Amino acid sequence: MDYAYVAYTRDRRLVKGKLSATSEEVAVDILGYGGYQVLSLKQFIPFFDKRKLASRFSQLKPTEIVMFSRQLALLLEAGIDIVTSLGLLQNQTTSQTLKRVIGEVVADIRGGSALSVALSKHPRVFSQLYHRAISAGEQGGNLEVVLRQMADHIEKGVTTEKKVKGALTYPIIVGVVAIVVVGILVSYVLPSFTSLYAAFDVELPLPTRIVMGISDWFSQYGLYLGLGIAAIFGSIFAYVKTPAGKYQWDSLLLRLPVFGRINLLNQLSRCCRTMALLFKVGVPVPEIMVVAIYGTTNKVVAEALTEIQGELLKGEGLSQPMSRRKLFLPLMVQMVGVGEETGNLDATLTTVAQSYEAEAEDKTSAAVALIQPAMTIIIGAVVGFIALSLISAMYSIYGEVSF
């Protein structure tokens, strides 16, 4: 932090300035060592600080949290205290966001806060799952183990997300290129041919008339169509931001053909991994449910987990409430029941997560494999119809002129 100070020197001169320190006490000590008698010391908050502004709004990559967790676990295993370990990581990181956050965490720890409490003050960087697990590690004395488990958990999520994005990249690129090509044909190529055909007093074939009619319609009403589409999507986006809209949207995502099953599998696998990790590090089941509820991105799943949490507190366990809701698939219900009976809930939930992740990956690959040829056929049909209309018109004009 930066502090503005007013102080006297040893020769009784009044001086003003700024310095950086982790706390007010440290700032006073630094000035005292320099021979200054402090009269006033206040935290300096600049009107505009580009470095801090960039660090606050820049997105921290999950891989940076993974590396931070592994390195911190390694330093703690080597016998280095938590403050020194965090200081070393702060000095070597290249991320301004992470550097700032670590500095604030160190200041909180020196002020008497636990590591988990200090991390909980930065929810944009450290999720609730993360600092809850760290809290359990602090209480159980196995903080290094928990840090490594959290790194593995985050890394697994990153790997799954990369696979999904990689599978969808090609269809998205093909779709965008197709839209651009058709847009150029309709907006620039067809109008030039339309003016050419108009110069000949001949009856054009039906495909040509259809394409020319579409081109004329787009040239006259294309702007209104674009504005209408933008207004519709804007309204949908605004509605989805509301609680009711978000719930309806998430419900729709779970009911979609093919992709609904994939979304459900991804949600359940994430939930299982979260619960397995927290159960393994010793977090009580009611607290695990709280983290699982906040960890899901689907409001429908979150509502179901909230209802299960209420029934859990009444003494019904987990498997029985889950069995009464179709949202939770049979494998998950059965394995949770086995885990409750054997006391090995973390292992059974991990098995369920692995099974669902594998199924989701297979279904995603199969869906993408079907999308690619379907898009190719649709694009080929559109472009082929346009080409056919142009060529058939040329032959009609040639026949009329020759006659």
3 state SS for 332-343: HHHHHHHHHHHC
Q: pLDDT-based confidence at 61, cuts 50/70/90?
A: confident
Q: Are residues 240 and 308 in the same domain?
A: yes
**185 in any annotated domain:** yes
Q: Are residues 119 and 241 in the same domain?
A: no
Query: In terms of DSSP bridges, do strands 14-20 and 37-43 run parallel, antiparallel, or are they unpaired?
Result: unpaired
pLDDT in tens, 172-212: 787 788 788 777 777 777 777 766 666 666 677 788 788 77
Identify the CATH number of the domain in which residue 150 sits: 1.20.81.30
What is the signed CA dihedral for 372, 374, 380, 383, rounded to 10 degrees? -100
Q: Are residues 73 and 195 in the same domain?
A: no
Q: Are residues 69 and 39 in the same domain?
A: no
- pLDDT at res. 373: 82
Q: Are residues 175 and 32 in the same domain?
A: no
pLDDT in tens, 308-346: 999 998 888 889 999 999 899 999 999 999 998 988 888
Cβ–Cβ < 8 Å for 130, 294: no
Task: Give the domain range for residue 39.
Answer: 2-45
Total number of residues shown for the chain: 403
Q: Are residues 27 and 70 in the same domain?
A: no
Of residues 209, 192, 156, the one with CA closest to residue 393: 209
Q: Are residues 73 and 23 in the same domain?
A: no
**50 in any annotated domain:** no
> Domain ends where: 115, 136, 154?
154
In this prediction, residues 244-256 reach a mean pLDDT of 91
Q: Are residues 171 and 134 in the same domain?
A: no
**267 in any annotated domain:** yes
**292 in any annotated domain:** yes
DSSP structure class, residue 188: I
> Domain ends where: 125, 154, 183?
154
Percent of the chain with pLDDT over 70: 91
Of residues 396, 394, 382, the one with CA closest to residue 184: 382
Q: Are residues 14 and 60 in the same domain?
A: no
Above 60 in pLDDT, residue 20? yes
In this prediction, residues 276-299 reach a mean pLDDT of 85
> Domain ends where: 132, 154, 176?
154
How many Å apart are CA 364 and CA 375, to the nearest integer?
Answer: 16
How many Å apart are CA 152 and CA 346, to the nearest integer?
Answer: 15
Alpha carbons within 13 A on the beta-carbon side of 260: 11
**363 in any annotated domain:** yes
Q: Are residues 139 and 161 in the same domain?
A: no
Q: Are residues 166 and 309 in the same domain?
A: yes
Q: Are residues 16 and 91 in the same domain?
A: no
- pLDDT at res. 306: 92
Structurally, the chain folds into a number of domains equal to 3
Sign of the four-CA dihedral 104, 106, 110, 115: positive
